[in-house]
Amino acid sequence: MSLSVQHMRWVVAAADFGGFSRAARHLGISQPSLSAVIQATEEKFGARLFDRTTRYIGPTAFGDLIVSRMRAVIAEYDAMLKDIEAFRDSRLGNLEIACLSSLAISVVPNAVRQLKERYPSIRLVINEANSGGVAQQVREGTVDMGICADTLAYDDLLFTPLAVERLGVFYSRVHFPEIRKLTWRKALTLPRIAMTERTGIPSLLDKHLPKFPDTIPPVVEVTNLATMHTMVRNGIGIGILPSFALRLDDGDDLAVQYLADPTIDRRIGAVSRRGRTRSPSAQVFADILHGLLKETQPAFDPPGQGERVAMMRAGD
Instruction: Report the pLDDT value the prediction gives residue 151, as an integer from 0 to 100.
Output: 66
CB distance 167 to 268 below 8 Å: no
CA 262, CA 205: separation in Å to the nearest integer?
Answer: 10
Q: Are strands 192-195 and 265-273 parallel, antiparallel or unpaired?
A: unpaired
User: What pLDDT was estimated at residue 303?
Assistant: 42
Ramachandran angles phi, psi of 32, nearest 5°: -60, -35
Higher pLDDT, 277 or 143: 143
pLDDT tens profile 173-186: 999 999 989 999 99
Per residue in 246-282, pLDDT (tens digit) is 876 656 789 999 998 899 998 999 999 888 888 888 8
Q: For position 307, what pLDDT does the model report? A: 44
* pLDDT tens by residue, 45-95: 999 999 988 777 889 999 999 999 999 999 999 888 887 776 666 555 789
- pLDDT (average), residues 219-241: 93
What is the pLDDT confidence band of residue 309, given thresholds at 50, 70 and 90?
very low
The pLDDT value recorded for residue 54 is: 74
What's the confidence (pLDDT) of residue 86?
Answer: 63
Q: What is the pLDDT of residues 150-198, one digit of tens each?
A: 866 788 899 999 999 899 999 999 999 999 899 999 999 999 999 998 8
Q: Which long-range contacts (CB under 8 A, 24 or more apart) does 286-291 make?
A: 286/145, 286/160, 286/162, 288/111, 288/114, 288/115, 289/103, 289/107, 289/108, 289/111, 289/147, 289/162, 290/162, 290/163
The overall pTM is greater than 0.75: no
SS (H, E, C) 235-275: CCCEEEEEHHHCCCCCCCCEEEECCCCCCCEEEEEEEEECC
Pairwise pLDDT comparison (141 vs 219), residue with the higher score: 219
Q: What percent of the chain is predicted at pLDDT more than 70?
A: 89
Q: What is the pLDDT of residue 91?
A: 56
The whole-number average pLDDT for the span 219-234 is 92
Mean pLDDT score of the chain: 86
Q: Is it the case that residue 315 has pLDDT exceeding 50?
A: no
